[in-house]
Structure 1
């Protein structure tokens, strides 16, 4: 009887750990997406106001934020991973361009924001 109880408890504990691990991946992705959405919002404001210094400061931080959870997205949501990547690199490059092309960068940032919102909706 003790052996059976030990086995059942081990299975329950293992299941809890597996489920906790799954939740932390979604949480990590969700947190990362929310940080990136905050950054694209800041970038949008800087683009609209023509604040090149702020654009050059904020734009590259998107890459650092993306790196923290992109592997999880790539593993679980290949289509959305590709969509984010499609707009991320050009947005970052555009944020470093001089002079600033407000229309092009604004469009790219908007498309990146839309892709991130789609990813956020899928990871809830």
Structure 2
């Protein structure tokens, strides 16, 4: 009986640790997505106003924010990982360009925002 109780407790503890780990990954992804969505919103405002200096300041932040949780997305949501990457790199490059192409960068940023919102809904 004592062995059985010990085994049940060990399984329960192991399950709790596994579930806590999954929750922390979702939390990490959720927090990261929310930060990126805030940044894409700031970028959108800067693009709309034609503030190239602000665009150059805000756009590159996306790369650092993405780096903090992209491995978790790549592992758990390969389709959305590819979709985000498809728009992320050109958005960052466009934000660092010598001249601001408001229309192209705005479109890329909107598509990136849509992909991030899709990921946010999936990780709720």
- Give TM-score, length-normalised by structure 2: 0.98
Shift of 1:102: 0.6
Q: How many residues align?
A: 124
Which residue of the partner structure matches residue 17 of structure 1? 17
Q: 1: CA distance between counterparts of 2:11 and 2:111? A: 45
- Give TM-score, length-normalised by structure 1: 0.98
1:99 partner SS: coil
Q: 2: CA distance between counterparts of 1:82 and 1:37? A: 17
Structure 1 unmatched ranges of 5 or more: none
Q: Per-residue displacement from partner, 1:64-101 (whole Å, max 9, x unpaired)? A: 00001101101111110000000000000000112111
Which residue of the partner structure matches residue 89 of structure 1? 89
Shift of 1:113: 0.3
Which residue of the partner structure matches residue 114 of structure 2? 114
Runs of 4+ in structure 1 off by over 2 angstroms are none
Q: Comparing 92-101 with 1-10, which one deviates more in the overlay?
A: 1-10
Which residue of the partner structure matches residue 67 of structure 1? 67
Which residue of the partner structure matches residue 56 of structure 1? 56
Confirm whether residue 103 of structure 1 aligns to residue 103 of structure 2.
yes
Shift of 1:4: 1.6
Q: 2: CA distance between counterparts of 1:64 and 1:48? A: 23
Shift of 1:107: 0.5
Q: Per-residue displacement from partner, 1:27-84 (whole Å, max 9, x unpaired)? A: 1111100000000000000011111111001000000000011011011111100000
Q: 2: CA distance between counterparts of 1:59 and 1:88? A: 10
